[in-house]
Structure 1
Amino acid sequence: MLDGLESTLLADTSEMVQRGMPTPLSEENPTLFDYKREIEEHGFPLSRADQDLNRSSFVAEAAMVTRTSERSTFNRLATAEGLRYVHEHSLFALYTGSITSRTAAALVKQTRGIPRATAQQIEAGLLPTATTASDASMSLRIKRARERLHPQPAADRRTRAEMGRSLMWWPEDDGMAVLQAYLPAEDVLSIFNTVTTHANLLLSSEQERPLGQLRADVFRDSLLDGWPGQVKRKPSLFVGLTIPALELLTNPERGIANLEGYGPIPLGVALRLAANAPSLKPILTDPWTGSILDLGRKRYKPSKALRDFLRVRDEHCRFPGCRRAPETSEFDHIDDWATGGTTSVQNAQLLCKRHQIYKHVLGWQAVHLGNGSLQWRTPHGVTHLELPDGLLFPRALGPEPPPVQLMLPGTTIDAQSKKLLGWDETEDIPGFPDNSPEP
């Protein structure tokens, strides 16, 4: 039921933003969003009235508020709009709790891109079953109905799907990560079967590694070292690695280093990587907070040294929730150069191209608060604190210290309980709200 209400809220708010209508939040917070000005002196060939740009900005704003990724929020918005404007009967079924949100999302996803009448025909035929069937069963039924009623030939759909080829990765725990390739099915099977064949050749003489580990090792070695017998031609790659000298000296076995783009890895792994590094760059960090204080520079060009500094401090695009690597991000003046902003550590950040457009075209604002900490403000007045990943213990950014949390907030103890606990009426207990003896 809550998912149904959330879908309505997402879809309706997105429509209000794209139409330039005032939202409750924008009425409470003065906004920089001026829909009457279609041309801005920002250097980008884009207008504030561009619907695709506004939709993308709304997704970023909603993702920031809900603490989720933009990709996840985009998918939720697409599902919400599909339910709101195409599958209204399924939306009402969500309101009443008759179907699950997974089945509703599968219906929207599988019927996207086909005529509205066909999508509603699939919904009408399957909705009665969805009130009792499992999510897995409904997903299969929806796919079969789609294939049976889809007006576009399968070959044309395959050609369109191939345009979405991609290679992605995401971090996992304990210094591990997952690599995902989205390719045609026959290519994926060919790669997997080739790797499996070579892994099986090693399996007979292997004593420790099972087949799953062998597949992973063959895949890794073939990409990084080349197949056996081939000339090894490794490209010169930059891997950002921060090794804290203080932990290296005091606690080398349990110390933690930082791998750029991933996060914490064991110090021993970092030292093995550093042993083969062509060059090392000294970095001075605060041993208690982890903030970057200075970057040892041996170059005379300040711009290059500043870019090196940002690469180490920011590690990725500094827009809330964005993890695009430094290679795909650009130097950005927090306060625009045209309005007097300086080229300095205090006025610099890494931003990818898309989020530069948000800042310079749509009115997103960023303020540097020190130690690389940024406060972002959306076009509709929502604020968000963005901290550098390497900042272990952020200092208080406000003028007033946080309130002291009481040991037992709002709790009183009667005389009988005090007697059972051996309470000393003359002893002061710091932080307790009422320490005076009862009359």
Structure 2
Amino acid sequence: MEKPTTTPLSTGATPTADGVVAGTVTLTGLVGEAEVALATLTAGQVAEVRMLARAGQLAEAEAAGAPANVRAHDMALRSIAAEIGGVLRSPDRTIQRRIGEAREIVEFYPAALSAWEHGFITRGHVAVIVDAGRIVPVDRRGEFEREAIERSLFDTPNRVRASLELYAEKLTERTSTERHEDATRARAVRLISGRDGMCDVIATVPTVIGDGILDRLTRMAHAVQDTADPSGTRSHEAPAREISDRRTADQIRADVFADLLLAGTPALDPTAFGDGPGALGAIRAQVQVTVSALTLLGDDENPADLIGRSPIDTGTARYLAGDTSSWTRLLTDPVDGATVAVDRYRPSLDQRRHLRARDLHCRFPGCRIAAIRCELDHTIDAALGGPTNLTNLAHLCQRHHSMKQFTAWRVEQHAGGLLEWTSPTGRTYREDAPAPAVAFVPLEHPIRHLHDARDRQRDRGDPSEPVAGSPCPPPPRAGVPDDLLEYLDPAPF
């Protein structure tokens, strides 16, 4: 195996030993720096892959001989992934996935790993080799690996991918139908947060289903456009004055897609009985949004937080607050506070609402699963005498709830909802409670007197001038519904 070589390019200048001429960076020097940086990066990446593979092997060894081997291995893997994730500052789910990928490289493609380590191929080549080789029988992967490395030496990963996939097809012993059946089992829907309040909803489905989905959405979009333009001319062709719906076909497809999923009834509903509608059609989407009261009033344009995802625009938050029935307004008594304890295992409705607003998401470090999709956990188990009160309850997603129960991870809850997690190796991770969504000022607080002075100033008919010492001008009140005013300024304010 020979390492590919390149011919250095010259800029016409005579470089010094470090590639710099009279303080000017040369191309030769930059190329040398790139080679050093690549070698350093490669050494670190390969070391990380080997470390992650050993982590997976350690989890397997720890679970060996356990009665419930599958669950024991999964819990051991979760615990190890969480420990390593705390060091690498990555979510434990991500680390667990990377552990699986690392084991596949180390155990099935050692020659490719060695070629990457010595600079003959890149990380991208290894990813292509592993991906294309998944259909190759284990006993023929050595043959596939040797050929794949040879083809990767002098070409980029993207250009070598097609030829490796064709070569793998020749070595496989399973039919495309059998492989398709396996691939179908991996179908899923994922959401990737984007910018400016947008995201990508990605559904992995059989190609024929995906093609049918796009075709139906396209025909629906054309029907909408034809209705908007009775002449039958598509919206991008018709004069602007003749069009009542200015959306493009892509925009209409996206809108119809959302309408069907959020409000439509599934064609195949196992919950239906006889000729009546089933329960699936009655299920509606649920999201958890936190928005400040001043934003609702229009005092600012700060984005709201879609818990577990990303910020959303203020217009959408106001729409949810004012025009839908699914918005839950949380009001905590400023004098007595929320219910803090009940003499039973299950928390009360007030407690659940309070904790959902306090926690916002799963309270394991780095996890962003929204609280509405989590379980309420007794920090000290109820079976061990742990009370059902606000200082002993916190939201955990199913994954981390199980990990707390079945692994050596331990957690303590301190004042203010702060959780302190201790890993099996003794490392501690503090998970502060998120900033409260709603806060009230005690009656004796100095700002209370500013409220009074501001109200007196407003009564005098001069609300535009700020009160001396006031942190901000009085917020506008015109047009604000009475119930919202009460929500923002409950008695005795």
- Give me the TM-score of the superposition, normalised by structure 1: 0.72
Distance (whole Å) between structure 2 residues aligned to residue 99 and residue 115 of structure 1: 23
Query: CA, structure 1 residues 308+114, in 2 after alignment: closer, same or farther (shift >3 Å)?
Result: farther
Please tell me whether residue 18 in structure 1 is matched to residue 66 in structure 2.
Answer: no
Determine which of 267, 289, 310 is the counterpart of 1:241.
289
Are positions 1:386 and 2:463 aligned together?
A: no
Query: 1: CA distance between counterparts of 2:318 and 2:409?
Result: 40
**Counterpart amino acid of residue 218 in structure 1:** V
3-state DSSP of counterpart to 2:386: coil
SS of aligned partner of 1:261 = coil
Q: Which deviations, in whole Å up to 9, do the C-alpha atoms of 1:89-139 show, x marking residues without a partner?
A: 111112112211122123223323643221221111120221221111232
Quick check: 2:184–2:205 contact (8 Å CA) kept in 1?
yes
Identify the residue that residue 368 of structure 2 maps to in structure 1: 323
Q: Which amino acid letter does the alignment assign opposite residue 103 of structure 1? A: H
Q: Which residue of 2 aligns with 1:9?
A: 51
Matched, 1:349 2:391: no
Measure, in 2, the Cα distance between the counterparts of 1:254 and 1:277. Answer: 20
1:355-377 per-position Cα deviation (integer Å, ceiling 9, x unaligned): 22211221111222443332222
- CA change 1:18–1:226 in 2 (3 A) is closer
For 2:177 and 2:49, the matched residues in 1 are separated by 33
Q: Please name the residue that 2:260 is paired with.
A: 222
Using a 3 Å threshold, how does the CA distance of structure 1 residues 103 and 201 change in structure 2: closer, same or farther? same
Q: 2: CA distance between counterparts of 1:377 and 1:62? A: 13
Change (3 A) 1:252 1:296: farther
How much has 1:185 moved relative to structure 2? 0.6
Counterpart pick for 2:247 among 188, 196, 209: 209
Question: Are the aligned partners of 1:48 and 1:361 in contact in 2 as well (CA < 8 Å)?
Answer: no
CA distance in 2 between partners of 1:237 and 1:182 (Å): 20
Q: Which amino acid aligns with 2:312?
A: I
Partner SS state of residue 321, structure 1: coil
Pairing 1:85–2:107 present = yes
1:255 is matched with 302
Describe the SS at the equivalent of 2:146. Answer: helix
Identical aligned pairs, as a percentage?
A: 28
Write the distance in 2 (CA, Å) between the matches of 1:136 and 1:389: 43
Residue 17 of structure 1: CA displacement? Answer: 4.2
Aligned equivalents of 2:415, 2:362: Cα separation in 1: 17
Q: Report the CA distance shift for 1:331/1:156 in structure 2 as closer, same or farther (over 3 A).
A: same
CA distance in structure 2 between the partners assigned to 1:242 and 1:311 by the alignment: 11
Which whole-Å CA distance do the structure 2 matches of 1:95 and 1:54 have between them? Answer: 29
CA RMSD of aligned residues (A): 3.4
| 1:132-281 correspondence runs (5 A) | 132-203=154-225, 204-205=234-235, 207=240, 208-225=246-263, 235-249=283-297, 252-278=299-325, 280-281=328-329
Aligned to 2:405: 360
1:25-36 → structure 2 map (5 Å cutoff): none
Q: CA deviation at 1:183?
A: 0.7
2:247 maps to a residue whose letter is R
CA distance in 2, matches of 1:237, 1:294: 31
Residues of 1 paired with 2:383 and 2:70: CA distance? Answer: 20
Equivalent in the alignment of 2:383 = 338
How far did residue 157 of structure 1 move?
1.4
Q: Choose from 75, 81, 89 the match for 1:53.
A: 75
Larger Rg: 2
Q: 1 or 2 for the larger relative contact order (CA 8 Å, sep ≥6)?
A: 1
Give the secondary structure class of the aligned counterpart of 2:388.
coil
1:164 counterpart SS class: coil
Question: 2:217 and 2:302 mapped to 1: Cα distance?
Answer: 35
Q: What one-letter code is carried by the residue in structure 2 that aligns with 1:210?
A: T
Determine helix, strand or coil for the equivalent of 1:167: strand
Corresponding residue of 1:374: 419
TM-aligned CA distance change 1:124 to 1:239, over 3 Å: closer
Pairwise CA distance, 1:202 = 4.2
- Which AA in structure 2 matches 1:53? M
Question: Which runs of 5 or more structure 1 residues have no equivalent in the other structure?
Answer: 21-34, 40-45, 287-292, 393-439
Whole-Å separation in 2 of the counterparts to 1:238 and 1:78: 32
Q: Could you report, residue by residue, the CA deviation over 1:127-155 in whole angstroms, capped at 9, with x for unpaired residues?
A: 02212211112322332222221112211
More helix by share: 2
Report the residue type matching 2:329 in the other structure: K
Q: Which amino acid aligns with 1:256?
A: P
Contact 1:331 1:348 in 2 (8 A): yes
CA spacing shift, 1:310–1:107, aligned 2, 3 Å: farther
CA distance in 2, matches of 1:139, 1:75: 23
Distance 1:323 1:165 in 2: 23
Partner Cα distance (2:65, 2:133) in 1: 37
Give how far 1:184 is off.
Answer: 0.6
Q: Secondary structure at 2:362's aligned position in 1?
A: coil
2:145 corresponds to 1:123: yes
Displacement of 1:69 in angstroms is: 3.4
Instruction: Give the number of equivalent residue pairs.
Output: 360
Aligned to 2:4: none
| CA pair 294-196 structure 1, distance change in 2 beyond 3 A | farther
Deviations 1:383-435 (A, max 9, x none): 3233445469xxxxxxxxxxxxxxxxxxxxxxxxxxxxxxxxxxxxxxxxxxx
1:304 aligns with 349
Q: Aligned to 1:73, which of 95, 98, 104?
A: 95
